[in-house]
Amino acid sequence: MSKTNFSSHLQSVARAYRLWAHHNIDIAVLPLMMVAVVITFSLLTAGTRHFFLSGANLSTIAFQIPILGLLSLAMMITMLTGGINLATISTANFTAVIMALILTHLFPEDPSSISAFLLVLLTIIAGLAFSLLLGLINGMLIAYIGVSPVLATLGTMIFYEGLTLAITKGFVLSNFPAQFLIIGIGTIFNIPYTLLVFILVVAILSIVLRRRPFGKQLYMVGSNETATHFSGISIKKVLLKTYLLSGLLCGVAAVILVARFNSANARTGASFLLLTVLISVLGGTDPFGGFGKISGLVLALLTLQFLSSGLNLLGVTPFVAISLWGIILIGAIVYRFFRAKQREKESMGVA
């Protein structure tokens, strides 16, 4: 009885997948990849101290997803317009250091719970406002001065990282008040607060991209700038908003970064830049702009996070992982290329 139940379950899952895959051909392979990764690492680590599906590992993954996810979203939305934001990591680190300075300088020794709450709130608001400012600089350079996104954000990446280094003198700031750190370590029903924040951001951003005029305009700018211009949309405003939003997402990541690691410095997560590009492209975002879905990004994020944790459990050195990300990214682009070619052939056949 239970056997037939199971197989009928499996059949309905397969049916649902086929239906979904039909509409998401670009990222159809991702769920299969994800399942394959989970099964492979579970088998490889079964019976060892570092079992992939152990509570400890799953909890680590749940804590790691939000930061990488937010930074990937910050990368993805700029790619949708055909641009790129190379300054995501340095924006997050700069914001983190600013918040760290507020926390270490303004926080009294033993605050009452109300003033502690207000100060934490103030720190977060100041941090987010600061990240918006950094995003504004990128947006102004790209939208109004006409600098190419690659060079503009390469410049701000170097500049922001430089300022962060100058402020911290290369040291790591740490030891923040517990009232702030709770954001990074607290959980409800074993779900980290930070994961809930990430889910909330994903939900809001999905609505904005799919249902709001700004979302439509963002895709339009990415797919055909001239046509968008002649349909009366201000490309400059759309680009400015995109980079503002990208900065803000880095700001949210920075809040989590400070609270999770209890530290802030100029050079955290340098390898994240490649990973966020990889997650966006693997998730079906076209680096030339116009195409890409949040659902694809989330699937790619989960797949890579599982892969990364699995490699870590097996004791693979980070350098191998870094070169692996590079190779996977090229693989993803190769895959996209052949898919596009195949589709071209099919549509030619129909015509």
State the residues that interact with another protein by CB under 8 A: 84, 86, 141, 145-148, 150-152, 154-163, 165-166, 169-170, 271, 273-274, 277-278, 281, 287-288, 317, 319-327, 329-330, 333-334, 337
Amino acid at 17: Y
Residue 88 to residue 157: CA distance in whole angstroms? 8
Residue 151 to residue 156: CA distance in whole angstroms? 9
Closest by CA to 72, choosing from 97, 92, 54, is 92
CB nearer another protein, residue 61 or residue 154: 154
Q: In residues, how long is the chain?
A: 351
| Element (DSSP H or E) covering residue 221 | helix 213-223
CB nearer another protein, residue 213 or residue 331: 331
Q: Tokens standing for 225?
A: 């700038």
CB nearer another protein, residue 48 or residue 271: 271
* Nearest distance in Å: CB 187, another protein: 33
* Nearest distance in Å: CB 84, another protein: 6
* Nearest distance in Å: CB 132, another protein: 19
Three-class SS of 61-121:
HHHHHHHHHHHHHHHHHHHHCCCCCCCHHHHHHHHHHHHHHHHHHHCCCCCCHHHHHHHHH
* Nearest distance in Å: CB 14, another protein: 32
Angle at 296 between CA 134 and CA 255, to 5 degrees: 35
CB nearer another protein, residue 231 or residue 271: 271
* Nearest distance in Å: CB 285, another protein: 11
* Nearest distance in Å: CB 50, another protein: 21
Burial of residue 223, with CB atoms counted within 10 A of its CB: 0-12 exposed, 13-18 middle, 19 or more buried: middle
Residue 273 to residue 283: CA distance in whole angstroms? 15
CB nearer another protein, residue 147 or residue 235: 147
CB nearer another protein, residue 31 or residue 287: 287
The residue to which tokens 């530290």 are assigned:
263
CB nearer another protein, residue 126 or residue 322: 322
CB nearer another protein, residue 51 or residue 159: 159
Sequence-distant (6+) residues with CB within 8 A of 336 are: 26, 281, 286
* Nearest distance in Å: CB 320, another protein: 5
* Nearest distance in Å: CB 154, another protein: 7
Q: Tokens standing for 48?
A: 């060892």
